[in-house]
Amino acid sequence: MSLYGMMRTGVSGMNAQANRLSAVADNIANSDTTGYKRSSAEFSTLVMPSTGGAYNSGGVTTTIRSSISAQGVLQYTTSVSDLAVNGDGFFVVQDPSGTPFLTRAGAFVPDAEGKLVNAAGYQLMAYSYANGVPAATANGFEGLVPVQISDQEMTATPSTEGTFTGNLPANSTPPSGALPSTNSPTAEYTSKSSLVAYDNLGNKVLLDVYFTNTGTGTWEVSVFDQSQATAGTSFPYTGGALGSANLTFDTTTGKLTGAVDSVSFTVPNGAAMNLDLAKLTQLGTGYTVSEAEVNGNAPSTIEKIDIGSDGVIYAQYEDGSTKPLYKIPLADVTSPDRLTALPGNVYSQSADSGAVRIGFASEGKLGAIVSGALENSNVDIAEELTNMIAAQRSYTANSKVFQTGSDLMDVLVNLKR
């Protein structure tokens, strides 16, 4: 046995316990850090080759592990932009240089540009609804953009679709005059309603919708721009009908039959619009409107935002209308505990963690997104203080080994005296 080897073993043990104490210190210091995951020191033996009749002491090596997969307790707040993941998954964020990272720290607030950033300055990333309903890029970060919400910017959305539900009287008879689609001054109709739509600039456009019985179980629907009506009489409308369609009902069930269940047209100075009539009925009662909805909105600013458990960020405007803006994805890896922890409470993939996969909340093993909540750290102060005492005792014991080796070395040096 080498006295120097024994002393080095004692030093190795003291270094190991110092690493353990460093991990405990980090955990206690970050016990109130949102989304922080506790670290722990794991030890393994370092064995030196021995010869016959002699034992060569080795030492101990230290590996720092992070309990990234362990869920912290959710603490609810009053801020909509405070986000937490209830279950597996990470938010995707980026630093000012555009490098993407993963995090569970969801205390996001708008910066001067309206971008949502957390306490470490990382920007929340999501998919935009600007080009339609988004789809996740499963194997990469492409397509993600910073979430940016400005309450100063005015927006107007043209109408593109609507729904009209109601009942047409089954006992009605065809009018004697011309059909509304002919736009004749003698045109007659059975029932009429008006709808509000929006053009490209957000101006309101009143639409007159005429329903005219044309026979047993058959109806014509015609849509006109009310601003083009003849004063006092409506017909004729300048420019004629915007769109017309012929509907056929089953005289037994009163439900629509055939392929036509909507009417399509272009809103004046607006976009192409489809008015869904699939839930219209023809029953033995009077004309009744059950539901009439048209999308689009007038120029208005964002009053507030709402974030659903599926990660969709909705903007609510001053006029009460809502519109989806972004959809927040969640990222995951095969072995979350093997991710590389970086400053700012973020993580990056490593060779041991596996590749990053992107999906949406509540899909597969991914958890749900909780708005108005933050995930506390998963540090248990009582456990950390216990580990601190144990590390202190072990450090002291290893120092005694070193001290004993030093004393024996003194004896060896002084043998000649």
Within this chain, do residues 349 and 383 fall inside the same structural domain, yes or no?
no
Within this chain, do residues 165 and 273 fall inside the same structural domain, yes or no?
yes
pLDDT given at position 51:
66
Within this chain, do residues 214 and 81 fall inside the same structural domain, yes or no?
no
Number of domains in the chain: 3
CA angle 231, 175, 206 (to 5 degrees): 35
pLDDT given at position 151:
66
pLDDT given at position 371:
95
pLDDT given at position 303:
83
Within this chain, do residues 251 and 342 fall inside the same structural domain, yes or no?
no
**Assigned domain for 355 exists:** yes
Global confidence as pTM: 0.69
Within this chain, do residues 53 and 90 fall inside the same structural domain, yes or no?
no
Using CA atoms, how far residue 279 sits from 224, 255, 261, 293, in Å, is 21, 8, 8, 13
Contacts of 200 (CB under 8 A, 6+ apart): 156, 158, 269, 270, 271
**Assigned domain for 104 exists:** yes
Q: Which residues pair with 212 in a beta bridge?
A: 220
**Assigned domain for 315 exists:** no
Using CA atoms, how far residue 317 sits from 130, 162, 197, 240, 306, in Å, is 17, 19, 16, 34, 11
CATH code of the domain containing 189: 2.60.98.20
- d(Cα 162, Cα 270) in Å, to the nearest integer? 14
> In one letter, which amino acid is 360?
F
pLDDT given at position 327:
96
**Assigned domain for 312 exists:** no
- Domain C-terminal end among 255, 284, 299: 299
Within this chain, do residues 146 and 162 fall inside the same structural domain, yes or no?
no
Pairing of strands 161-169, 272-276: parallel
Contacts of 136 (CB under 8 A, 6+ apart): 127, 329, 358, 359, 360
**Assigned domain for 110 exists:** yes
Q: Which residues pair with 178 in a beta bridge?
A: 187
Within this chain, do residues 18 and 49 fall inside the same structural domain, yes or no?
yes
Whether the CB-CB separation of 237 and 243 falls below 8 Å is answered with no
Within this chain, do residues 334 and 292 fall inside the same structural domain, yes or no?
no
- Phi, psi (degrees; rounded to nearest 5) at 2: -95, 130
Within this chain, do residues 165 and 295 fall inside the same structural domain, yes or no?
yes
How many Cβ atoms are within 10 Å of 186's Cβ, its own excluded?
11
In tens, the pLDDT along 145-196 reads 999 987 656 778 899 999 999 999 999 999 999 999 999 999 999 999 999 9
Q: With a cut of 70, which residues of the chain have pLDDT below it? A: 1, 51-53, 151-153, 416-417
Enclosing domain of residue 283: 157-299
Within this chain, do residues 342 and 259 fall inside the same structural domain, yes or no?
no
- The alpha carbon of residue 10 and the mean position of all alpha carbons in its chain are separated, in whole angstroms, by 52
**Assigned domain for 36 exists:** yes
- d(Cα 35, Cα 331) in Å, to the nearest integer? 15
Within this chain, do residues 161 and 295 fall inside the same structural domain, yes or no?
yes
Within this chain, do residues 183 and 102 fall inside the same structural domain, yes or no?
no
**Assigned domain for 188 exists:** yes
**Assigned domain for 320 exists:** no
Contacts of 227 (CB under 8 A, 6+ apart): 205, 206, 268
pLDDT given at position 1:
54
Q: Quick one: which of 312, 270, 313 has its CA closest to 295? A: 270
pLDDT given at position 152:
59
